[in-house]
Structure 1
């Protein structure tokens, strides 16, 4: 075994297990680090045995092993190992199927740095011996070759080499919306690296909807980071109190003790960060999230209330271009931090009187729609507000069907938003839950609107 200063012993067991898991799961990283990795750098015997099997397969067949191949290898090719080591190797292989690696970038950077330095050290020692017998060019070549090894060689997804990767089950880790009907059509909720947008006119309750989404994530045990660019952080916190406990916003002070008793044992965590309107950019949000991660707080859901109120990083001639870039940057943040982001967008004037709001009513920049994974609108006429009713229209859904309408109950006094039960189609009128907008139904809806217009 290598002495402590030339193995990964100082990094600990968790680091070494994560490194070996990355080499198995990430083929481009395996290509890169195996150029400089010495199996002896691994302090733990069962990890050395496991990684040796991976490397032997790569050398023999000139490709990266699949899960099935490794399963067979560990079942049939461990006879020569000690019984305890066999069990440790197989137990480790079972564990990594369900374990999500933390600090991936750190493990990659630290392990590559360590291995490359060891290779460079070897090359320098070899060069000392070559000083008397070889030319300068040969010594230079030895050093340069060592510097090249382990450098980034990921040129992209290789169609044949990475064949198995595209058939692996992708874990979206969706975060519930709190509405079973909508979760059912979006694959359980908004998944990691996905951007969801709520479209609604002013006064329809965009912020209330975002609080509803955040509350259900907190109850589910997620870490929710809620950015507010319009309302005070305490106002948002009061809305969470009301949404989670059911107490009316007007009576929160009266039931303060009861509210605390209900929320104190919630598994999730809520962080509300307030920025003045148009003062924060997406870089501001990225910086704040990075500081949270450094403190061990990993967000499970990010809410931006709302994206239209962010200041653009780059000032552009057209406002729609600025807004479009903001949504693209939010999408990038969701990918960078591997968690979903919910935000909202205001409709144009036509959305104020629309019974069902579609993407045609989205304000300013239609290219907001291009980068979003899930978009739904909330429409509430004056009559709807008086009766605590409204409609949700699924405008875009990358994980299932769209073009569906849901009738909702929405009581803003206690931030209660529910999907109402299904109702049958009658007289060609589109029901509230959930029905695809077929051509026949659209014709029926337009006909009814026209008749109503003529009567008025």
Structure 2
């Protein structure tokens, strides 16, 4: 083994293979050691039942904190599912910023953005000055940030570290190795890790099967969170079906959908073109091992320029669920009605008799989910029903005659 390490050093490939060496050293160290972390059910009851056993770190988004019981807890991983350009970096930066404001040591790992681009996002949050105006208000931003820096160092003295990795060769074991080395060198223990985002990470096994490799990566991410005993956030990009979708589900996930099974908390960001224009988004809770899922928060403030993210309605308090949202959303219904009316104007020769038959069927079955496909003007419907009954009566009379 020593010869192998020396060989890798000579070839300059130690960083890429450090995980192999680490795993082999662990296996050697564990020889003859009984690894029994089983717990007797009644052992230290108080420890299991303490109120803050998860020790969650707030996201800064009220409705998400309410759903998660205060945020992600120790050893938990949270995933944000969103299409390209929806705001993955925005929400992950918000999570990092809010944790730092709470006095936590935060490591924000990035791939696509530069460190300065991410720092500007943090400065936008603290200064209240949008990214688009920073160049014009440069002196003002510097003044505000310098003041905040002094306050943070005086009151908290914690760290927010932004580290950029290459998309070409980075693996989870390499990331974990960096974290351990940084903590040892600087005497800092990270409370939260933000990985922006996991699709940019390569598999350390690299078996040639993309789906298997993606599953290996998320498993390694989960293992890292458990080993470091800290919450870890990341994001996954949707496939093309998620672009401008009104709601995003797990099946919209790009790549291996089994990755959703490994998460403790999975949420999605959906943004139609109209929502983007108005700085809005729909947040949805898809999975929560430690809480109830299925919540939908429509038309949240979601501004990539100011990094403000805030729910405009509190569905949690009214116990509204995804199904109720889809059924009761009036604007969605109105839009469908407008499309139906427009279609009818374009096609004046529709078979009215068949349409009235469908209307009767829908009304008799009380099938409200399909009702948006017919005319919603009740006066027209009632007149149509009367006409239908007259036609039916005439047909019956002719048949009897």
Same topology, TM > 0.5: yes
Which residue of the partner structure matches residue 373 of structure 2? none
Aligned counterparts of 2:191 and 2:128: Cα–Cα separation in 1: 24
Aligned counterparts of 1:158 and 1:422: Cα–Cα separation in 2: 40
- What is the CA-CA distance between 1:319 and the residue it aligns to? 1.3
Which residue of the partner structure matches residue 62 of structure 2? 180
Contact 1:328 1:371 in 2 (8 A): yes
SS of 2:151 mapped into structure 1: coil
- Residues 452 and 316 from structure 1, CA distance in 2 versus in 1: closer, same or farther, beyond 3 angstroms? farther
- What is the CA-CA distance between 1:161 and the residue it aligns to? 7.3
- Residues 283 and 417 from structure 1, CA distance in 2 versus in 1: closer, same or farther, beyond 3 angstroms? same
Aligned counterparts of 1:162 and 1:211: Cα–Cα separation in 2: 40
**Aligned partner (choices 302, 308, 315) of residue 410 of structure 1:** 302
Residues 13-162 of structure 1: matches in 2 within 5 Å? 152-157=33-38, 159=40, 162=43
**Aligned partner (choices 262, 269, 274) of residue 148 of structure 2:** 262
Which residue of the partner structure matches residue 270 of structure 2? 379
Residues 1:190 and 2:72 are matched in the alignment:
yes
Which residue of the partner structure matches residue 26 of structure 2? none
Aligned counterparts of 2:310 and 2:326: Cα–Cα separation in 1: 25
RMSD: 2.8
Contact 1:229 1:278 in 2 (8 A): no
**Aligned partner (choices 259, 275, 279) of residue 165 of structure 2:** 275
- Residues 195 and 411 from structure 1, CA distance in 2 versus in 1: closer, same or farther, beyond 3 angstroms? same
SS of 1:315 mapped into structure 2: coil
Which residue of the partner structure matches residue 232 of structure 2? 341
Aligned residues: 300
- What is the CA-CA distance between 1:212 and the residue it aligns to? 0.6
- What is the CA-CA distance between 1:338 and the residue it aligns to? 1.1
- Residues 287 and 158 from structure 1, CA distance in 2 versus in 1: closer, same or farther, beyond 3 angstroms? closer
Aligned counterparts of 2:190 and 2:225: Cα–Cα separation in 1: 10
- What is the CA-CA distance between 1:441 and the residue it aligns to? 5.4
Aligned counterparts of 1:222 and 1:392: Cα–Cα separation in 2: 25
Which residue of the partner structure matches residue 246 of structure 1? 128
Aligned counterparts of 1:432 and 1:384: Cα–Cα separation in 2: 24
Name stretches of at least 5 consecutive residues in structure 2 with no aligned partner: 1-30, 344-401
SS of 1:272 mapped into structure 2: strand
- What is the CA-CA distance between 1:279 and the residue it aligns to? 2.4
**Aligned partner (choices 437, 440, 445) of residue 322 of structure 2:** 437
- Residues 433 and 390 from structure 1, CA distance in 2 versus in 1: closer, same or farther, beyond 3 angstroms? farther
SS of 2:257 mapped into structure 1: coil
Name stretches of at least 5 consecutive residues in structure 1 with no aligned partner: 1-147, 424-430
SS of 1:264 mapped into structure 2: helix
Quick one: higher RCO (CA 8 Å, sep 6+), 1 or 2? 2
- Residues 210 and 152 from structure 1, CA distance in 2 versus in 1: closer, same or farther, beyond 3 angstroms? same
- Residues 225 and 163 from structure 1, CA distance in 2 versus in 1: closer, same or farther, beyond 3 angstroms? closer
Aligned counterparts of 1:159 and 1:340: Cα–Cα separation in 2: 26
Residues 1:286 and 2:167 are matched in the alignment:
no
Which residue of the partner structure matches residue 286 of structure 2? 395
The CA deviation string for residues 76-114 of structure 1, in whole angstroms up to 9 with x for no partner, is xxxxxxxxxxxxxxxxxxxxxxxxxxxxxxxxxxxxxxx
- Normalising by structure 1, what TM-score? 0.61
- What is the CA-CA distance between 1:243 and the residue it aligns to? 1.7
Contact 1:420 1:433 in 2 (8 A): no
**Aligned partner (choices 190, 194, 203) of residue 299 of structure 1:** 190
Which residue of the partner structure matches residue 87 of structure 1? none
Aligned counterparts of 1:319 and 1:191: Cα–Cα separation in 2: 30
The CA deviation string for residues 275-308 of structure 1, in whole angstroms up to 9 with x for no partner, is 1223211011111110122131100110111000
* Segment of structure 1 superposing worse, 241-250 or 331-340: 241-250
Contact 1:248 1:414 in 2 (8 A): yes
Aligned counterparts of 2:309 and 2:73: Cα–Cα separation in 1: 21
- What is the CA-CA distance between 1:316 and the residue it aligns to? 2.4
Contact 1:395 1:403 in 2 (8 A): yes
